[in-house]
Amino acid sequence: MEDAPRWTRVTVEALFELPFNDLLHRAQTVHRLHFDANAVQLSTLLSIKTGGCPEDCAYCPQSARYRTGVENEPLLPLETVLAAARAAKRNGATRFCMGAAWRGPKQKDLEQVAQRVRAVKALGLETCATLGLLREGQAEELKAAGLDYYNHNLDTAPEFYGEIITTRTYGDRLDTLERVRRAGIKVCCGGIVGMGESRAQRAGLIAGLATLDPQPESVPINDLVQVKGTPLESAPKLDWSEFVRTIACARITMPRSTVRLSAGRAEMPEAVQALCFLAGANSIFYGDKLLTTGNPEAARDRALLEKLGIRPA
């Protein structure tokens, strides 16, 4: 058993430096100790409140500060959310995630989200929400509504964080994660790579995630989607091998966590996605859209999984 406290930036950097084949072999070995190597969990993500966010996250097309063509829209009606959840379930998804472009939910917003959580839960799906920063008591309200997972990413290494976001601190994120844990909700927490960070900073992100106590149950690893109008629209593309290495390091350092291949998958060749599964990714976002950016169509995903002999978990 891997012991979470032993992972430091230095020890994670050492993993990144391993020969590619050795790293993937180690990751696959760890993966098989804890998971079925040929099963992948399918999640669907719906933006229930799009655009108009006051934050300045440099990667995000939903920020009101950037001109990206994403309009400020109201919260989706309950029936629209339910129709999307039913479609996700028909397509094989077992978890339905709802995202809202807020700094954090106001009380009236939280009550409406709780209503949607209860309704989706009644369909027999696991529920997940990503609503921004949570104040005291809000996580408990979401737990009472039946929320299974709360997503709140660390995004990047602490020392690179200020280059990407200035409107909330790294500590703010840790505070929300602590509130989620105290409420008894499972944590979905990962980050984004390809934002101009160094390999050492990617190692810092993984070390930060691996030393959360307890480790996140779900770890989404996102490859930056360069959106015109955001400050990162011209960021240099991360080499595919470095992304696969990041997946492998996440698997080795967080052996019991579900590692999700998340944003950026639409642009990934099938062979690179296959390497990510080999490196220990065992969850994908599945459907037509990932918040406001494209995601491979469900039929294409099913065809890929069939080629690889991978079945839905």
Q: Which residues pair with 140 in a beta bridge?
A: none
Annotated active-site residue 189? The verdict is no
Q: Which of 26, 245, 260, 265 is catalytic?
A: 260
Which residue type does 191 have?
G
Q: If phi over 0 gives left and psi between -120 and 50 gives alpha, with beta otherwise, what is residue 16? A: alpha
Annotated active-site residue 276? The verdict is no
C-alpha span between 221 and 250 (Å, rounded): 8
Q: Which of 9, 95, 128, 189 is catalytic?
A: 128
Q: Which of 9, 95, 168, 188 is catalytic?
A: 188
Q: Which of 9, 26, 95, 97 is catalytic?
A: 97
Nearest CA-CA partner of 25 in 173, 244, 197: 244
Annotated active-site residue 60? The verdict is yes
Annotated active-site residue 249? The verdict is no
Which stretch of DSSP H or E encloses residue 140? Answer: helix 138-145
C-alpha span between 110 and 134 (Å, rounded): 10
Whether the Cβ atoms of residue 101 and residue 52 lie closer than 8 Å to each other: yes
Annotated active-site residue 128? The verdict is yes
C-alpha span between 276 and 274 (Å, rounded): 5
Q: Is the dihedral of CA 114, 120, 125, 131 positive or negative?
A: negative
C-alpha span between 13 and 203 (Å, rounded): 5
C-alpha span between 215 and 250 (Å, rounded): 11
Tokens of 83: 């129709």
Q: Which residues pair with 294 in a beta bridge?
A: 289
C-alpha span between 292 and 18 (Å, rounded): 36
C-alpha span between 269 and 189 (Å, rounded): 25
Annotated catalytic residues are 53, 57, 60, 97, 128, 188, 260
